[in-house]
């Protein structure tokens, strides 16, 4: 049996007409000889009736603090509704379909409501139905604890469900159907001539996702990568082949990615920079450690970290800025804030080999009149903190600087 997983995102299942296109994709896969197992997200985006954000608003504000357990029960509903509707649509088209919640599909998680971790996937019930010839539709984004409580997997969780099911079923590949034709060199909402990547490595797409490319969740990539299950990102609304995410060197004999050292530009809005003066505590060798410990104990994740003898720079998500500042004030540090920032990054497996790459980043941003507030680089990324109002200019300038609109899709060896 040639099992594949097909995951359909929120926009793909948002209207009856679109759900018909979803059915077409499933039927096509069956005709091609595959056994599709389907994973769905909640219908539509923010503001639409059955979208997760809308459901959250039903309980948010009802009382001072909504318990995470009950909130998760509400958040699970979007995918349950969507799954039942898609399964019914499949039945209407003559397919023998059955719908399972995350828990029924064997997705076991820890008790970390709102952002639960997968512990195990037991695919036996899915397989029972598959062996009976049924098309199984699974509610994404959710799981169940050993006690039977419902949990959610955090934003982008349906991608994670799809990968985890793909691994558990040892699927031939996992298709992520969405509203764009693949992973692109930049967010097409910002860069109109962004190019679709035919193929990209797990590693590169993981960096793109971590640095803000919302098209696929990084955890989904990590899970698929562990078992080498190929992922394909493609559109529900066209027949374009999409982007193959794979272990390039393994899958494409003698691959060579040095022809495209940079594969994409990404952005993360809603960031604040903190500049923490530690000079008052010169006699204490652990003065910067204290700052990081305070953030860690409060569960505040920090990024773009630079440590100097008398200063520590780092960034936080804007939502936690006030809390971070209050903690540091209490400890007696001098704190300067820079709110309304964003991070733009270039990503690529060959960045570390590209001579003068930092000079080109700085040149592009300077020419576009974008101030650079801080930078950080790693093997596969260079990120710059910039004023949030300049995101579009910065992303476009970097895309242009590295000629990503004409990126080579030929990654095979020469």
- Residues forming beta bridges with residue 312, ordered by sequence position: 276, 307
Pick between residue 137 and residue 213 the one whose CB is nearest to ligand ADP: 213
Q: How far is the CB of 157 from ligand ADP (least distance, A)?
A: 10
Q: How far is the CB of 200 from ligand ADP (least distance, A)?
A: 10
Pick between residue 214 and residue 360 the one whose CB is nearest to ligand ADP: 214
Strand 174-178 and strand 231-235: pairing? Answer: parallel
Pick between residue 207 and residue 287 the one whose CB is nearest to ligand ADP: 207
CA nearest neighbour of 211 among 264, 248, 260: 264
Q: How far is the CB of 19 from ligand ADP (least distance, A)?
A: 14
CA nearest neighbour of 23 among 91, 112, 69: 91
Q: How far is the CB of 69 from ligand ADP (least distance, A)?
A: 26
d(CA 81, CA 137): 12
Q: How far is CA 330 from the centre of its chain?
A: 35
Q: Which residue is nearest to ligand ADP (CB)?
A: 9
Pick between residue 269 and residue 413 the one whose CB is nearest to ligand ADP: 269
Pick between residue 41 and residue 381 the one whose CB is nearest to ligand ADP: 41
Q: How far is the CB of 38 from ligand ADP (least distance, A)?
A: 14
Asked if residues 83 and 40 have their Cβ atoms less than 8 Å apart, the reply is yes
d(CA 114, CA 118): 12
Asked if residues 141 and 152 have their Cβ atoms less than 8 Å apart, the reply is yes
Alpha-carbon Rg for the chain in angstroms: 23
Pick between residue 234 and residue 287 the one whose CB is nearest to ligand ADP: 234
Give the angle subtended at the CA of 215 by the CAs of 214 and 218, to the nearest 5°.
70
* Interface with ligand ADP (CB under 6 A): 9-12, 41, 178-180, 183-184, 186-189, 213-215, 264
Pick between residue 145 and residue 218 the one whose CB is nearest to ligand ADP: 218
Q: How far is the CB of 125 from ligand ADP (least distance, A)?
A: 25
Q: Which two tokens stand for residue 259?
A: 């022809």
Give the angle subtended at the CA of 213 by the CAs of 396 and 5, to the nearest 5°.
140
d(CA 279, CA 302): 21
Q: How far is the CB of 374 from ligand ADP (least distance, A)?
A: 23
Q: How far is the CB of 162 from ligand ADP (least distance, A)?
A: 10
Element (H, E) at 160: helix 157-168
Pick between residue 184 and residue 328 the one whose CB is nearest to ligand ADP: 184
Q: Which residue in this structure is represented by tokens 């990615």?
A: 257
């Amino acid at each position: 049996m040639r099992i594949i997983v097909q995951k359909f995102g929120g926009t793909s299942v948002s209207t009856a007409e679109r759900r018909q296109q979803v059915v077409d994709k499933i039927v096509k896969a069956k005709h091609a000889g595959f056994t599709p197992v389907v994973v769905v997200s909640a219908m539509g985006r923010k503001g639409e009736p059955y979208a997760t954000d809308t459901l959250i608003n039903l309980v948010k504000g009802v009382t001072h603090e909504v318990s995470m357990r009950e909130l998760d029960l509400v958040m699970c509903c979007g995918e349950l509704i969507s799954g039942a509707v898609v399964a019914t649509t499949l039945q209407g088209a003559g397919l023998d379909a059955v719908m399972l919640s995350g828990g029924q599909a064997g997705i076991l998680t820890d008790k970390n409501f709102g952002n639960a971790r997968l512990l195990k996937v037991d695919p036996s019930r899915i397989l029972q139905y598959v062996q009976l010839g049924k098309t199984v539709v699974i509610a994404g984004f959710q799981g169940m604890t050993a006690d039977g409580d419902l949990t959610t997997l955090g934003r982008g969780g349906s991608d994670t469900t799809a990968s985890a099911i793909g691994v558990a079923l040892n699927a031939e590949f996992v298709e992520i159907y969405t509203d764009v034709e693949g992973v692109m060199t930049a967010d097409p909402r910002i860069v109109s001539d962004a190019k679709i990547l035919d193929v990209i490595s797990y590693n590169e797409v993981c960096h793109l996702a971590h640095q803000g490319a919302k098209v696929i969740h990084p955890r989904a990539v990590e899970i698929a990568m562990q078992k080498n299950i190929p992922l394909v990102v493609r559109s529900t609304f066209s027949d374009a082949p999409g982007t193959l995410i794979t272990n390039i060197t393994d899958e494409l004999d003698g691959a060579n990615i040095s022809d495209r050292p940079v594969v994409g530009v990404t952005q993360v809005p809603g960031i604040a920079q903190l500049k923490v003066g530690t000079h008052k505590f010169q006699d204490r060798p652990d003065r910067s450690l204290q700052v990081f410990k305070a953030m860690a104990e409060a569960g505040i994740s920090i990024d773009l970290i630079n440590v100097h003898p008398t200063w520590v720079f780092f960034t936080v998500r804007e939502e936690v800025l006030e809390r971070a500042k209050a903690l540091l004030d209490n400890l007696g540090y001098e704190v300067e804030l820079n709110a309304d920032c964003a991070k733009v990054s270039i990503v690529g497996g060959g960045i570390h080999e590209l001579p003068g790459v930092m000079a080109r980043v700085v040149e592009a941003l300077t020419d576009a009149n974008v101030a650079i507030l801080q930078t950080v680089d790693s093997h596969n990324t260079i990120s710059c903190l910039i004023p949030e109002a300049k995101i579009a200019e910065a992303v476009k300038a970097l895309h242009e600087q590295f000629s990503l609109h004409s990126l080579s899709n030929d990654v095979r060896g020469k």
